[in-house]
Amino acid sequence: MIKKITLALFISLLSFCAVDAQNTTAFELDEYISQTSNNKSSLKTKSSQPLSTPLQVLAYNLVSTVVIENSEIKVFGEQPPLKAELLYNSFNILSTSNAQFNKVELLVIKLDSEDQLNTSLDFSKIQGFNNLKYVYFLCPFNCSKSKIENISQGMPLGTTLLYSASIPE
């Protein structure tokens, strides 16, 4: 009897976690950085400069990066990569573990058409991203929060989902 109750509780817990993982909220990148910067604005260094947020550094500064193009993995920088960039169509390569992914904190996925928003990506299948904190979708068109949330399935717990539209002129 105790085994049945324990099993039922375990299954309930797994179901709750699975549902929770599917309800990931997306944030627009600049708004998210602004919000997190404002929350930390009371923290100042001795020189009265606000502390920079790691996301801001990852997103806008030059950091060691692994770039995945045409099934090729290229590393730029001297240190282990903190950022990975790839085109949407190269997502499946992330299901193969690679030592270059171990320290990556920011995963940037570049979309090239609105049609890609109709097919979901299963993040539960990616391998080797032991330090992943942020997944960022970069759209060259207007993309919405709800569309980004819908295509992002199986997001790892504790990972922040981000997006922005960078429309060419």
Q: What is the pLDDT of residues 83-103, one digit of tens each?
A: 999 999 999 999 999 999 999
Distance, in Å, from the CA atom of 60 to the CA atom of 53, rounded to the nearest integer, reads 11
Q: What pLDDT score does 40 carry? A: 59
Distance, in Å, from the CA atom of 61 to the CA atom of 55, rounded to the nearest integer, reads 10
Query: How many other C-beta atoms can be found within 10 angstroms of the C-beta atom of residue 72?
Result: 9
User: pTM for the full model?
Assistant: 0.79
Range of the domain at 16: 2-165
151, 120 Cβ separation under 8 angstroms: yes
Residue 71 structure tokens: 């099934």
Domain count, the chain: 1
Q: What pLDDT score does 23 carry? A: 67
Distance, in Å, from the CA atom of 138 to the CA atom of 45, rounded to the nearest integer, reads 32
147, 126 Cβ separation under 8 angstroms: no
